[in-house]
Structure formats: C-alpha cells, structure tokens
Amino acid sequence: MIGTKNIERVTNISSPSPFVELRDSFASRVSAISPFVDRLMKFIEFFMGKSGAADEAVDDIESAIHEALSNAVVHGNHEDPKKQVHVTCRCSLDGEVLIAVRDEGEGFNGEAPDPRSPERRLLTHGRGLHIMKALMDEVSFEENGTVVRLRKKVNSQEEKP
C-alpha cells in the first residue's frame, strides 16, 4: 500500500527547466520494494519516455532505484515495518531524473568495500552501492548516510564521472 503520495508540477526559478515531482513512502518490508519500483518507473517513463536512446538510461535508473530501496529497507530500517522509506523523484523537462531515498535508520559513512576485490567476489551481498555508482551519473550520501541521492540525465550524451 502506498503511503503519502504527492505529485506536483513546479517551475523553479533557479532551475533551467520545469519539473514534475513525486513524493511517496512505504513501510520497510522487502515485499513492498518491487511493487513500489514498478509504480515509480511508470511515473518516470510517463514523463521521461522509454524509447530509443532513453531505454538504457531508464533501465539503469530502475536498477539503481531497486538497489537504493533495498539498502534502505534491509540495512537502514532493518526491515522494521514500523519504519518508513521516503522517496522523492523529480523529472525535469530537460531529461534529468533526480531521486532521493531516505530511511529512518542510524546511517552509515557512504563507503563500502569494493565487491570486485578477490576476497569479496564470491559473496552474495555488498554490491548495491557499486551498482548504483556504475549506473547513475551521480550518487551521493547525505545526513549521515540516511539519504541517498541519485541523478541521471536521460536523452543525453553526458559521460559518467
């Protein structure tokens, strides 16, 4: 079940392009992640499109969102259904997608061991941060690691850092 849903069309003077923003939240249950991602991707695809060159970018966004939400539910909120995961998604008319995922956990330092190192290659966990950083143009952690911000420019030739 979706918690708070708020969709707004905003024209921001400091932003070069108008945008549409969705704010939503859900209880920290692993079973809620995929249905939430499906709904969020419908929102993104409606405003950003999913055709031609945008296909890969939209697929990258979906995978990164899934990783961010999984980390928030499992590592941030420890699957406590009394805690919420809060998501803000902003789609700009210039093709930029910004997503913020906030959990109600204790946070972390934003660092994780490299999953490509020989001693970690066979582990079944520990790849989420690496995947997000590989797929998105920017990934940042704020508020002691309780907020992850993802940015992707769709329909752009922008190089990943």
CB-based burial label for 3 (10 Å; 0-12, 13-18, 19+): middle
Q: What are the two backbone dihedrals, phi and then psi, of residue 109, each rounded to the nearest 5 degrees?
A: -85, 0
Per-residue pLDDT of the chain (161 residues), as tens digits, is 344 455 444 334 345 678 899 999 999 999 999 999 999 999 998 887 655 557 788 899 999 999 999 999 999 999 999 999 999 999 998 889 999 999 999 987 666 666 566 665 555 555 678 889 999 999 999 998 899 999 998 865 444 44
Could you tell me if residue 135 is inside a domain? yes
Domain count for the chain, please give it. Answer: 1
Q: Is the pTM of this model over 0.85?
A: no
Could you tell me if residue 124 is inside a domain? yes
For position 90, which CATH number holds?
3.30.565.10
Could you tell me if residue 158 is inside a domain? no
Residue type, 8: E
Could you tell me if residue 48 is inside a domain? yes
Where in the sequence is the domain holding 21, given as residue range(s)? 6-153
> Among 37, 15, 61, which residue's Cα sits nearest to residue 155?
61
Could you tell me if residue 159 is inside a domain? no
Could you tell me if residue 149 is inside a domain? yes
Could you tell me if residue 43 is inside a domain? yes
Could you tell me if residue 27 is inside a domain? yes
Q: What are the two backbone dihedrals, phi and then psi, of residue 145, each rounded to the nearest 5 degrees?
A: 85, 5
Phi-psi map region of 140: left, alpha, beta (phi>0 left; psi -120 to 50 alpha): beta
pLDDT (tens digit per residue) in 7-41: 444 334 345 678 899 999 999 999 999 999 999 99
Q: Say which residues have a Cβ less than 8 Å from residue 102's Cβ, sequence separation at least 6.
A: 72, 85, 86, 87, 143, 146, 147
What are the C-alpha distances in Å from 146 to residues 15, 82, 104? 25, 16, 7
